[in-house]
C-alpha cells in the first residue's frame, strides 16, 4: 500500500512570509550588536554611565528581542521598563522587529534624592533617528519619525544600578 506523508504546507502557511528585502532587514536587526557593557560604579559618573547605557539598550531590544541586559537594569516595579518588556515581547512574538536606529544621548545634569543618597536622578537629552518598525502578523511597516526629548531616569544603587522610573520631561519642547 502507498505510504502517506503528511503535508508540511499547513504549518508553514501560518507563518507570515517575508519578502527577500524584509527577510534581509530582519536578519540585520536580529544581528545588531548590543551596546558595549559597562561596569557599575557607585559614583555620579557611574550613575550617568548606567543611565546612558540603559537608554542605549532601547533600539537594541526592539531590533533583537533580547531583553536580558534591559531586565538586569530594570527594577521590578519600574512601569516604563515593564511596558518596554511587554511591547518588545509582543512585537517579536508576532514575528515583528524594529530596524536598528542611532541615538544621540547627552546627559545634562544629575542629582541625588534628599532622603536616600543611593537614589539618583539623571536628566538626559535623547535624539532618536527615524527608523522603520515591522509589526509582524502581515501588518504593513510603520515609519517612526526622528524624535527628541529630555528624559528623567531615576536609578537606585544596591550593589548595582537599577532603573526605578523613566519620565519624559514635558516643558522645553523645541521645534
Relative orientation angle of helices 44-64 and 79-93, to the nearest 10 degrees: 20
Lowest-pLDDT choice from 22-26, 58-62, 116-120, 154-158:
22-26
Q: Residue ranges per domain, the chain?
A: 19-31+40-168
pLDDT, tens only, 117-127: 999 999 999 99
Question: Is the CA virtual torsion 83, 85, 90, 94 positive or negative?
Answer: positive
Select from 3.40.50.10800, 3.10.450.50, 3.90.470.20, 3.20.20.60 the CATH code of 19-31+40-168: 3.10.450.50
Instruction: Give the model's pLDDT for residue 16.
Output: 61
pLDDT at 171: 61
pLDDT digits (tens, 9 = 90+) for 22-51: 899 999 999 999 999 899 999 999 999 999
Q: Does position 60 have pLDDT exceeding 60, yes or no?
A: yes
137: region left, alpha or beta (phi > 0 left; psi from -120 to 50 alpha):
left
Amino acid at each position: 500500500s502507498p505510504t502517506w506523508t503528511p503535508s508540511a504546507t499547513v504549518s508553514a502557511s501560518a507563518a507570515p512570509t517575508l519578502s527577500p528585502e524584509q527577510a534581509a532587514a530582519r536578519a540585520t536587526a536580529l544581528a545588531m550588536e548590543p551596546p558595549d557593557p559597562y561596569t557599575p560604579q557607585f559614583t555620579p559618573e557611574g550613575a550617568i554611565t548606567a543611565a546612558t547605557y540603559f537608554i542605549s539598550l532601547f533600539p537594541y531590544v526592539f531590533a533583537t528581542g533580547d531583553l536580558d541586559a534591559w531586565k538586569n537594569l530594570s527594577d521590578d516595579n519600574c512601569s516604563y521598563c515593564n511596558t518596554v518588556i511587554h511591547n518588545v515581547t509582543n512585537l517579536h512574538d508576532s514575528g515583528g522587529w524594529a530596524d536598528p536606529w542611532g541615538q544621540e544621548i547627552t546627559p545634562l545634569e544629575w542629582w541625588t534624592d534628599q532622603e536616600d543618597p543611593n537614589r539618583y536622578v539623571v536628566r538626559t537629552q535623547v535624539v532618536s533617528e527615524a527608523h522603520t518598525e515591522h509589526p509582524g502578523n502581515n501588518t504593513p511597516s510603520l515609519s517612526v519619525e526622528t524624535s527628541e526629548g529630555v528624559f528623567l531616569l531615576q536609578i537606585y544603587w544596591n550593589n548595582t544600578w537599577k532603573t526605578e522610573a523613566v519620565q519624559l520631561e514635558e516643558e522645553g519642547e523645541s521645534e
